[in-house]
Amino acid sequence: MTIRLLDFGQVGALRSQAVYHGIAYAMRREHPDVITLMRPMEPYVCIGHHQDARTEVDLAYCDEAGLPVYRREVGGGAVYLDGGQTFWHTIFHHSRVPATLTDVYARFLAGPVMALNRMGIPAVHRPVNDIQVEGRKIGGTGAATIGQAMVVAGSLLFDFDYELMARVLNVPSEKFRDKLYSTLQEYLTTINRELGDTAPSREEAERLLVEGFAEALGAELVPDEPRADELAAIEAQEERIASEAWLHLEGLPASGDIVKVAEGVHVREAAHKAPGGLVRATVAVRDGRIHGLVISGDFFIEPAEALWDLQEALVGVPHTEEAVLRVTKGLLETVDAPGLDAADIAAAVLGGER
């Protein structure tokens, strides 16, 4: 078994997101699997597939600071990204990966963990998708089906701007922002922070990463160049990812839309912290039934479209625990949402009145 290794080196911020989306959409069963490497030339902010950009990110500040904001098709939370990271992506046809996200992470995070260990960092995979060093996170990971491919995304985190990460997020107060900054410093670490002067060069770290993937996956990684159809797909994804329509998921209801159209009804907003991530819900209730609903958050759900199906299925349902749980349990039986169950959705949907 061989895997194509596509090392894009330094790329623009937009291309760093478009590359793996484009290669995934170009993949077919007969194509070999792919692992990509790249690092962005300029900083930016990236939000998870199911997040509301206006809720999660201080868009006005990002605009003033010249920080682009892009949405990815992989779940998880909003994150500040820059050249202090090397991004890696495993892009395998969905027929050649495990059936559940839990098993997908177990398979594809083994290589990066092995690479960090060989640098001298005692990293471990903590299910579902964290790579940790003595309880501290060292880089984020996520997975999603994109086209016919299952993509697992992660990074080698050499340095991190904790202050800017805390600044770009929407928070209720400056006191909260200070707390977020100190929490990030305490629970998020980097390669350079762990190893200091003994940290490997970026080239050496990337070599160890490639070796780790090869050993963990039992495959040879063969350096290659992108095909013409992949380059065309990457360019198409650049146009889509840069659009306001994709950033704000135009065509789907947003939290602000619920508030606007819900005059005369009760509007409730709540957030619930589930093991699999934060679940937010904005709910319009009329005559005891759900009149409009938006669910967002930094969780993972496969297929991603199941979230929109759930929102539609809950509209018209009585705003009661029994009714919401019944509908939600039925839909979640057919999807993969690690760390997220019907009770977590219900806790957000049934939250306090606005």
Half-sphere exposure of 92 (CA within 13 A, CB side): 19
Report the C-alpha dihedral over residues 144, 208, 81, 229, rounded to 10 degrees: -50
Task: Name the segment(s) of the chain with CATH classification 3.30.390.50.
Answer: 255-349
Per-residue pLDDT, 85: 97
How far are the Cα atoms of 23, 34, 93, 214, 283 from residue 99, in angstroms, in the given order?
A: 21, 19, 12, 21, 33
Task: Name the segment(s) of the chain with CATH classification 3.30.930.10.
Answer: 2-247
The helix (run of H) or strand (run of E) holding residue 237 is: helix 228-241
Phi, psi of 35 (to 5 degrees): -125, 130
For residues 229 and 2, what is the distance between their CA atoms, to the nearest angstrom? 20
Per-residue pLDDT, 138: 97
Per-residue pLDDT, 139: 80
Per-residue pLDDT, 266: 82
Per-residue pLDDT, 259: 54
Judge whether 270 and 348 are in contact, CB under 8 Å: yes
- CATH class of domain segment(s) 255-349: alpha beta
Tokens of residue 12, six digits: 């623009």
Beta strand 289-297 with 277-286: parallel, antiparallel or unpaired?
A: antiparallel
How far are the Cα atoms of 139, 241, 279, 280, 341 from residue 346, in angstroms, in the given order?
A: 30, 31, 10, 11, 9
Single pTM value for the model: 0.93
For residues 350 and 56, what is the distance between their CA atoms, to the nearest angstrom? 21
Q: Which fold has domain 2-247?
A: BirA Bifunctional Protein; domain 2 (3.30.930)
Report the C-alpha dihedral over residues 307, 109, 154, 115, rounded to 10 degrees: 170
Judge whether 125 and 326 are in contact, CB under 8 Å: no
Per-residue pLDDT 10s for the chain (354 aa) are 799 999 999 999 999 999 999 999 999 999 999 999 999 999 999 999 999 999 999 999 999 999 999 999 999 999 999 999 999 999 999 999 999 999 999 999 999 999 999 999 999 999 999 999 999 999 889 999 999 999 999 999 999 999 999 999 999 999 999 999 999 999 999 999 999 999 999 999 999 999 999 999 999 999 999 999 999 999 999 999 999 999 999 876 666 565 555 455 788 889 999 999 999 999 989 889 998 899 999 999 999 999 999 999 999 999 999 999 999 999 999 999 999 999 999 999 998 544
Judge whether 27 and 149 are in contact, CB under 8 Å: yes
